Chain A
Amino acid sequence: MGRLGEVARLICDVFGDESINVSPDLNIRELENWDSFRHVNLMIAIEDAFEIVIAPADMEHIYSIRDLLSVIERRDESGG
């Protein structure tokens, strides 16, 4: 499973909806069940799956799947 596929699986899991069509342009905050606490749960799921730590200040700026992927990619760039 590619990175986008893994993120899609986590989003469907956290939001309890298998039918979410996850693309890079998807705005996570416009999902029907989105709220700030689910956002935290998603970040925890991403941290665990990709073995990264997402700072609260970065969490604030994550709107789209593209934002999320770039946070994950930063780990690769930093060699983490």
Chain B
Amino acid sequence: MADDLLLTLEPFSSLSKIVKNQLECWPDHYGFLSDRFVGNDKLFLQRCDSVANLALKLIDNEIGEYCESYKWTCLNFVAEQKHFVRYGQYRLTTFEEAREQVYDNDEYMSRYLRGILMSQIFWDNHARAIDWFREQFLVSCRSGGDYLEVGPGHGLYAYFAAQADRFSTLTGWEYSAAGVAATKAALEKLGVKRGLDLVRQDVLESDPHGGAFDVAVISEVLEHLERPQVALRTLYRCLRPGGRLFVNVPINSPAPDHIFLWRNQQEVLDLLSHAGFKTLEAEYFPVTGYPLDQALKRRLTVNCVFIAERI
């Protein structure tokens, strides 16, 4: 039925608004968005609606631009997918290549970041990773701890960490001054009352302030690094014994700036254990429209999320 999608979303005003705008801009995306939303349980959709409400705050009055950017981002991902299917590798393998082609290109980055924000709503694997962070990880953190997030970017994870109201301090590390400024602006738009102390810090370098944390969060960052194991070792050193780590990393996930390829969940589990972490919980969220076994068999993107403990 042509109206199944809009009927499903009718009770959820923010989701409805974003999806209707996206369909006006890109009617051919109807099938994908139906796979994403139709048949989901209502409580999950309710939580997705609250994320969509936050996204609308970030989008402000530029929804048309965000929808266009999302379509553009998806088409770029298709080009990367073609390369991945053909050669079995990501197109880029070094940070320098990603910097030249993506990060230093302001126009490209502006559209890309807009598209990625929309993907937090439209892609099942992204939406479920955020949901798992809220529903499983945050509630498992003890009260009064010090929270660190590497690469908070759009600020959605940091927003929920602040809202959880269980951390004594909140710190965010961004690689660049531009990243610090962008995340600061995003958190202001989101109305985060409790301050996240944002600092410019490369996760591949030791923290010069010798910060000590009880919780570290690194979501969709490791795949952008040439040496993700170094980043995990940095976090290991920053965490107090018994500290908790939340990791979200996509496998088989060709994207314009993904350079480190993991082909299965075990490779990520091994990375965690080699860095000194004990994995306590793991969950795997496949790309929209596929069950996990099919996604793995066909080498499609799966977001792997873990809660690990610093031994």
B75 touches A40 (CB 8 A): no
Range, interface on chain A: 10 to 19
A60 touches B81 (CB 8 A): no
A7 within 8 A of B: no
A57 touches B81 (CB 8 A): no
B32 touches A36 (CB 8 A): yes
The minimal Cβ–Cβ distance linking A52 to chain B, given in whole angstroms, is 13
A56 touches B76 (CB 8 A): yes
The minimal Cβ–Cβ distance linking A65 to chain B, given in whole angstroms, is 18
A40 touches B81 (CB 8 A): yes
Question: CB < 8 Å: which of B32, B78, B86 contacts A56?
Answer: B78
Question: In the assembly, what is the distance between CA of A35 and CA of B81, in Å?
Answer: 14
Question: In the assembly, what is the distance between CA of A35 and CA of B85, in Å?
Answer: 15
Prevailing SS type, chain B contact patch: helix
Interface on B for A, CB 8 Å cutoff?
28, 31-32, 75-76, 78-79, 81-82, 85-86, 289, 298, 300
Q: Known contacts A29-B31, A37-B81; can you find 7 more A-B pairs with CB under 8 A?
A: A36-B289, A40-B81, A41-B85, A43-B82, A44-B82, A44-B85, A59-B78
Question: In the assembly, what is the distance between CA of A46 and CA of B27, in Å?
Answer: 25
Question: In the assembly, what is the distance between CA of A29 and CA of B32, in Å?
Answer: 12
Interface on A for B, CB 8 Å cutoff?
29, 35-37, 40-41, 43-44, 56-57, 59-61
The closest CB in chain A to the CB of B71 belongs to A60
**Chain B positions within 8 Å of A35 at CB level:** 289
Q: Taking A41-B85, A44-B86 as contacts, is the C-beta distance between A56 and B289 under 8 angstroms?
A: no
A-B contact pairs, 10 of them (CB 8 A): A36-B32, A36-B289, A37-B300, A44-B82, A44-B85, A56-B78, A56-B79, A56-B82, A57-B75, A61-B28
